[in-house]
Structure 1
């Protein structure tokens, strides 16, 4: 499975480059010894559910689990997306992970596994883990072994304001890239900001480049580029050229380069308050829009990323992923019990009803009532190809470079060719 020492050195290099302090993080994660003198087991649960209602729903679920397991206490640590990724990189480098931690699977989880830091759940989840929706489990399978349990599955797509589309004379969501650019022009002509973007958080811009790469070069191109350590193929350069076309239309809200995703003046709030017509985001978007802003109610709609004329990809090839939980190596049985509780039908129904996630337990599909959630599920069901988030599918340093290079293109400091050259350089360094 690779050299754990090499994996650790790779993580240390990433941490050092990010300027992360090991001492500042000491005491975080992996400190639970599984029990105390009174027989109580404390398990530490790290997640990224910082917005409402998810934050409170998850806290209530932890309390419910504690009530069912009187000798177990759940200590919750919640961090926003980027802060979480940075701290987990540092913790991995230090060799200490939390008992239970959020994971997107893919290359990041693979490096943690190869470093010997993640519990093999293959045998410990037999019976109940086998019954989950198959596609939801794929990101957490490494060498046919289970290293994570999903709680969500979904895809990235455009969330749009139907009233603002109507104001701009757009009768239906665009299905092609040229029609999308036309829609951007129409929205601007109508005095509407077409797109909201959290330029301060590089992962949000990466979605555009990744989808355009899939549409121009095909769904397999990104994995092939990773394997070949070469991202300079014409199709991937074209992805940047198409993104540059969009950027030159100046479609984003004023001050977008300094905007956060979930803050009160960030990307989600800008759409949720009706100040921008669209955002490219995952299945969680309506919940965050309503928490950060007012929410759009019946005016909110969803459509898949458009096809690119002449491209190798299809509109039915989707980009996304879900959330899951993994355990540190040697985690107590109480942590496994918590995963089983979290993956139960009762919990999944509650998550679907209250937080808008797509179910990973087949029986929980009955709880879907929101038409937009149903639209996302239908797109996923009909998908002919699937690509995991690039900053999770790839090794951490490479995923970070994809995010930062694309952010440079959006900010006007990098050309499409420079984006693919920079990514290729880091890919080769990772060998």
Structure 2
């Protein structure tokens, strides 16, 4: 079972056909509209009507581990340890990535940066603010934000704020097991205040801006930077291939002395087996088949073009698009580590509640400490119901 947007892909269908030809097994597909998928999936698993295999967004906030059967076989020796860490609980592996990693960072116009005399990467919050002030003085909008999509406001927070937990993993454990509220952590609150300080550099009409507007501004040089996943390169290339080649991609931090090239531990395609599936062994074999190099690449091929990004498996690589190569080159030249973004450090059993709301509330003017307290009240209620440790 999978959502329409994924199951309709030619690569998915070709991979399913390849599996049937290789094994003699037959697959019945159950396709659910995207906006109904999560509710349908949870209902089926709760009523003992679960499918044998699920396509879904990776992450235990999406599907708790107690709904899933552990995955076994050769895949356990092949998966990248960083990926395994966010899909494993108590030594058991539950969610198999079936798409390449994307970096999350900043798209920037190299010609505008050259004109402003800005050198990359911007390795600290202070360097970023100095660069943004230069851009403002030039009459260029430093940051574009496609505010029509409410998740976009999360990106500077999730990417730039990762340093807080990277430098202090114990803080992530304390927050996600209810030993400390986010607003009561001076370093977390400082990070959030720095995030809010970016509003000065964002176009005033960001709430009405959609991605095509920001994209055109970046290509034309009226906007200098945007937070967006690297997989969007194809959209820029279709708009203007020559101008797209003059865009770069770099990591971002709100910290004083730590920067990483971040990738999301969640919100990427995964496959898993419901605990009440009727054909668990066959489903497990299917996952091991689908995550082998040729099948993985086939699965991620769209309109004849294989997907690009960082492979979640140690034994093969996939191609990099221009943004991804730009980031990879910068990582290598500056010894920048790759690491999960902010949420990847939290306990995998922790339920986030409505994370989007407190982020957008701050962008709308709510004081950071109050927004964090409101978020705490929300997620504490959710975690109490889920019987999360500490709640």
| Structure 2 gaps, min length 5 | 384-390
Which of 302, 323, 348 matches 2:249?
A: 302
Alpha-carbon separation, structure 1, partners of 2:207 and 2:362: 12
Deviation at 1:418, TM superposition (A): 1.3
Q: 1:121 to 1:390 in 2, by over 3 A?
A: closer
Deviation at 1:388, TM superposition (A): 5.7
Deviation at 1:166, TM superposition (A): 2.8
Q: 1:211 to 1:368 in 2, by over 3 A?
A: closer
Deviation at 1:275, TM superposition (A): 5.8
Which of 45, 56, 59 matches 1:102?
A: 56
Alpha-carbon separation, structure 2, partners of 1:374 and 1:65: 32
Residue 151 (structure 2) aligns with: 203
Which of 287, 305, 327 matches 2:273?
A: 327
Alpha-carbon separation, structure 1, partners of 2:223 and 2:215: 10
Alpha-carbon separation, structure 2, partners of 1:47 and 1:388: 29
Single out whichever of 227-236 and 379-388 deviates more from structure 2.
379-388
1:34-82, CA deviations, whole angstroms, 9 ceiling, x for partnerless residues? Answer: xxxxxxxxxx2337659xxx944444434444454565246374866xx
Q: 1:331 to 1:170 in 2, by over 3 A?
A: farther
Alpha-carbon separation, structure 2, partners of 1:164 and 1:75: 49
Residue 285 (structure 1) aligns with: 232
Alpha-carbon separation, structure 2, partners of 1:418 and 1:183: 30
Deviation at 1:175, TM superposition (A): 1.9
Please say if residues 103 and 326 of structure 1, whose CA atoms lie closer than 8 Å, have aligned partners that are also in contact: no
Alignment of 1:36-185 (within 5 A): 44-46=1-3, 49=6, 55-68=9-22, 71-73=25-27, 75=29, 77=31, 83=35, 87-89=37-39, 91-92=41-42, 95=46, 99-109=53-63, 111=64, 113-114=65-66, 117-122=67-72, 126-151=73-98, 152-185=100-133
Which of 377, 380, 384 matches 1:428?
A: 380
Residue 388 (structure 2) aligns with: none
Residue 135 (structure 2) aligns with: 187
Residue 347 (structure 1) aligns with: 295
SS of the residue corresponding to residue 277 of structure 1 reads: strand
1:166-188, CA deviations, whole angstroms, 9 ceiling, x for partnerless residues? Answer: 34443434222122123223333
TM-align CA RMSD: 3.7
Please say if residues 293 and 316 of structure 2, whose CA atoms lie closer than 8 Å, have aligned partners that are also in contact: yes
Alpha-carbon separation, structure 2, partners of 1:161 and 1:210: 22
1:122-181, CA deviations, whole angstroms, 9 ceiling, x for partnerless residues? Answer: 3xxx12442222222222111211111123334422122212323444343422212212
TM-score normalized with structure 2 length? 0.76
SS of the residue corresponding to residue 2 of structure 2 reads: strand
Alpha-carbon separation, structure 2, partners of 1:140 and 1:209: 22
Residue 176 (structure 2) aligns with: 226
Confirm or deny that 1:401 pairs with 2:354: yes
Please say if residues 175 and 307 of structure 1, whose CA atoms lie closer than 8 Å, have aligned partners that are also in contact: no
Q: Does 1 or 2 have the higher relative contact order (CA < 8 Å, sep 6+)?
A: 2
Please say if residues 101 and 326 of structure 1, whose CA atoms lie closer than 8 Å, have aligned partners that are also in contact: yes
1:9-50, CA deviations, whole angstroms, 9 ceiling, x for partnerless residues? Answer: xxxxxxxxxxxxxxxxxxxxxxxxxxxxxxxxxxx2337659
Q: 1:93 to 1:105 in 2, by over 3 A?
A: same
| Structure 1 gaps, min length 5 | 1-43
TM-score normalized with structure 1 length? 0.70
